[in-house]
Structure 1
Amino acid sequence: MKKKLSLSLIVVFALALLWVGVSAEQGVIAIKAGKILTITSGIIEDGIILIEKGKIIEVGKELPIPPQAIIIDASEYTVMPGMIEAHTTIGLRERFEPPSADETTDPCTPQLKVIDALNPFSRDIKEVVFGGITTALITPGRLNVIGGQPAVVKLTGTTISQMVLLEPAGVKISLGEGPKQAYGAKRKLPSTRMGSAYLVRKSLTDADYYLNQWKEYEKKKASDKEAKKPKLDLKLEPLAKLLEGKLTAFIECYRTDDIMTALRIIDEFKLKAVLVGCADGHKVADEIARRKIPVIISPMGVGPRRIETKDITIRNAGLLSQAGVKVVIHSDASLGVGAIRELPLAAAFAVKGGMDREEALKAITIHAAEILGVADRIGSIEKGKDADLVILSGDPFHYLTRVEQVFINGEIVFEKKEQN
């Protein structure tokens, strides 16, 4: 007999409301779950999650349920936190439109903000939610050396202000094939890896000079009314914040030489950074680990589609994790391989390659939230966090498991209907 997700009889009256989604304004919601994967506090069998005003107000076993609560019976199901896609360009272009994630008139565009191009009504965003992905780091593409400012967004809402969790979330930097192909074809700098590294260093050096001008002005202005205020430079402002440690550098690099260039730049400018891609990361895992730099990787990479990932191995995630590197797993959907909604299967591939199962779960939930700077809000099922939850028909890593319901901010944004 098929398992069926249903509401308790005491709230049959609320069925009509559930057809369009439970609202966070409807009072307390109680989810009775067969299994709760809290991520940070183990597994709770036959547990209860209480939600009010979009927040988790309690999680545990045998909790008292308020009399007027809407009860969702998920006693035959598994509940986990909403999953996080930690690096994607979804929402920046529609299908069949020309690429629009890179402003390729200039290789260095740190002043650009992805929120100015993000379409909340993108079909791609809706389909990602169907897979249990509730939050994403939306980032510029890989063609510019310095691409712009990413944003962490919830994948629901009709306006950017409703979606944004953190903006700006950092600055995107790309090394390797992307920039040199994009600009080398135009006979412009950079046409080599050396040129890309030079542009990063030059931009950060200019930002350091700019930052020191402002520091000098701040020192002088109290005692010198004639102190000249530096001119605001929108291009250097985000880079100055990188140097101050207020923003994170997300550096896309795949090959060993690009990874080591990234590490040298991180050391030279004392950057808070995350390596993205990192296909050859297992070859220099100790170098990454000793600097305590996290990585965002796909367990499989894109194989022959890109020469810089030709040495990718399914063991990459496991080897990096075993070396002590904090690993976050993302999909390769932006490169036409797989789909973001298959993120849990990407994590399952990492387990197949030797990654610890619990670490793989963290790699698509709490570890992603931590490196994106939003772990106080999402990434685990804990009291006080946002009620971003996924109800699954089984093990999140099993290929037959279905997403039954998805909650974002305590509201059902996806519900699987029974089909004949």
Structure 2
Amino acid sequence: MRTSYQRPQAAIAPTFRGAASALAATAALAMAALHLGGNAQAGQEAGSDAEPVRSQALFLTAKRLIVSPGNVLENASVLVEDGKITAVGTDLKAPEGAQAIQGEVICAAFMDPWSTAGFDTGSVNSRDLNAATMATDALDPYGEKAVLEELAASGVLLTRSQVGLASDISGFGAVLRTPSAEVVLEDASMSAAIGAESPGFSPDQFGGRGGPQGFSFGPQSIDPIDRIGQIDKLVSELAAGQKYAEDMAEYEKELAEWKAAIADKEKELEDDFKKAKKAREKAVKDAEEDGEEVKEKKYKEDRRPREPRYDAEKAAFARVVQGEVPMVVHAERALEIRDLLRSTEPFKRLRLVIAGGTSALACKKELRERGVTVIVAPSPANPGGPVGELDPGLSLAAELDAAGVNVLIGTGNASALASRDLPLLAALAVGHGLDRDTALRAITSGPAATFDVADQVGTVKRGHAADLLVLSGDPLSSSSRVLAAISGGAVVPQATK
């Protein structure tokens, strides 16, 4: 439940709307041109605006309806009304006036679990964030409109987006609908990073690459000692959050006991009122006869328990250690992942998610036993790259899955536009050994479950929000095209490619 330790309005982190947003250059693979996209052949007129158009009921039909990965109905239909899926089956009839859309395949919309889409560039690269930061304060649907249109055209209608890539701890990421930057869940995860390269420049102590006067420009690596220090700091914050949660729980217990005691005392006083009134009247009469003053017995109420001082950052971490919100930590190297697993083991309710995990295979047993999810951003092997360790490349997702580790596929925050290539990355993972259903799950129902929106999106189920794709073929085929994208029950217009 997402009810405890909610921040009061006064504690909202500052908005980070800065300079006008610019499209970050994508680091997509050379095969990105094969990404799913295509003509808007869904019965609506093609256009260049990706704002969803809400209209009458929708009646979708296809030869294959993927209810969830591995669960397929043949020659089936989906009825959408008022933004919700109201019926799924093989014997449905279109209601009068419904808009009919046909295709080869219907499936749940793709969801990128590791993205920056929807937020302004300044906030995405900001260092000045903390655990209480809300990424939704940096929403920039107009500045990022062209990017969001590209994502919708490729079938990526949902993202788990975050800000603060240069910050050790960057606060709460959100689940968004990309066509409109609508917030599905504003506190989908806490985000942190261990050993990530920091953008910008730093003093060049070794006289290597760099700019004038001993400064190096471009991404800067963090040395091993500092990386371990980042883990120690994160664990310290988690411990402070746990103490805060315990103090709050103790206060709430004492407050409940105090209220119960007050209620009991009030009932006792009410029950004894008549007797006490007669006793007082007699005391007053006796005092008057004796010429004395009546001494009233004062009621002394027990002191109300003192509430712990509100701390927005500790309250945020309290939610994380209580398991209310998952924590996504970007970590690539085996040393960092292993130390992170060891250091966080005492927090039994912590829902840890590793993003990146280039060398995660070295810790596969620990990851499986802890139930830690790994978000993989498939890319070619780079043994001499910044991680400097064994890099399995495109086979990482398949090897982790084979070891029993829960795997999601994301685009890795390379840029907001990179999310466009999510189905391509899933297809590449399939080409390097990952089961096709597992790959589809890794970009649909898997992220939805991990980030607590599985009751709304991720599968084609009655009662769920209608975030759906109608495709010309298999969801992970490079030749398939998006015929219609349905976001929150509304058809998303798409430009003809």
Give your verdict on TM over 0.5: yes
The normalised TM-score by structure 1 is: 0.84
In the alignment, structure 1 residue 331 sits paired with structure 2 residue 360: no
Cα distance in 1 for partners of 2:475, 2:177 equals: 21
- Of residues 435, 456, 474, the one that matches 1:395 is 474
Aligned AA for 1:178? Answer: E
SS of match in other structure, 1:49: strand
Inter-CA distance 338–388: structure 2 relative to 1 (3 Å threshold): closer
Counterpart in the other structure of 2:158: 135
1:116 aligns with 2:137: yes
Greater RCO, CA 8 A, separation 6+: 2
The yes-or-no answer on 1:151 pairing with 2:174 is yes
Specify the alignment match of 2:197 in structure 1: 178
Q: How far off is 1:177 after superposition?
A: 3.3
The Cα offsets for residues 72-129 of structure 1, whole Å up to 9 and x where unpaired, read as: 233xx322211001011122235xxxx43254246xx101110011112213222211
CA contact (8 A) 1:78 1:395 kept: yes
Return the alpha-carbon distance in structure 2 between the equivalents of residues 251 and 38 of structure 1.
31
Q: For residue 86 of structure 2, what is the aligned residue in structure 1?
A: 57
Aligned 1:22-101 pairs, distance under 5 A: 23-26=53-56, 28-40=57-69, 42-74=71-103, 77-94=104-121, 99-101=122-124
> What amino acid does structure 1 have at the position aligned with 2:176?
V
Residue type of the alignment partner of 1:396: P
Name the CA shift for 1:404/1:309 in 2 (closer, same or farther; >3 Å).
Answer: farther
CA contact (8 A) 1:183 1:190 kept: no
* Conserved 8 A contact 2:373-2:406: yes
Residues 29 and 319 of structure 1: is their aligned pair in 2 closer, same or farther, counting only changes over 3 Å? same
Q: Which amino acid aligns with 1:392?
A: L
* Alignment-derived partner of residue 204 in structure 1: 238
Describe the superposition over 1:367-401 as per-residue Cα deviations: whole angstroms up to 9, x where unpaired.
11110111111111111111111122222222222
User: How far apart, in 2, do the equivalents of 1:408 and 1:137 lie?
Assistant: 15
Q: Number of aligned pairs?
A: 396
1:34 counterpart SS class: strand
What amino acid sits opposite 2:338 in the alignment?
M
Letter in 2 for 1:168: D
Question: Which has more radius of gyration?
Answer: 2
Structure 2 CA distance, aligned partners of 1:361 and 1:393?
A: 16
- Alignment deviations for residues 171-221 of structure 1 (CA, whole Å, 9 cap, x no partner): 1121123369999999x9997112101211221222233233323322333
**Paired residue for 1:320?**
400
- Cα distance change on mapping 1:261 and 1:341 into 2, 3 Å: same
The amino acid that maps onto 1:166 is L
CA distance in 2: counterparts of 1:48 and 1:346, whole angstroms = 28
Distance in 2 between the 1:210 and 1:173 partners?
Answer: 20
**Residues 203 and 180 (structure 1), Cα distance of their counterparts in 2 relative to 1, 3 Å cut:** farther
Counterpart contact for 2:333–2:357, Cα < 8 Å: yes
Which of 197, 218, 221 matches 2:252? Answer: 218
Deviations 1:266-298 (A, max 9, x none): 312221111111111222212111111111111
Map 1:331-370; keep pairs closer than 5 Å: 331-332=411-412, 334-335=413-414, 339-370=418-449
| Aligned-partner SS, 1:269 | coil
Letter in 2 for 1:298: A
CA 1:278/1:217 → structure 2, altered by over 3 Å: closer, same or farther? same
- From 350, 359, 372, the equivalent of 1:293 is 372
The answer to whether the aligner puts 1:231 opposite 2:309 as a matched pair is yes
Given that 1:250 and 1:274 are in contact with CA atoms closer than 8 Å, whether structure 2 keeps it comes out as yes
How many percent identity over aligned positions? Answer: 27
SS in structure 2 at match of 1:364: coil
Provide the rounded CA distance (Å) in 1 between the counterparts of 2:52 and 2:166.
42
Paired residue secondary structure (1:192)? helix
Deviations 1:326-345 (A, max 9, x none): 2110114x325982112111
Gaps of 5+ in 2: 1-38, 205-219, 259-301
Shift of 1:67: 2.7
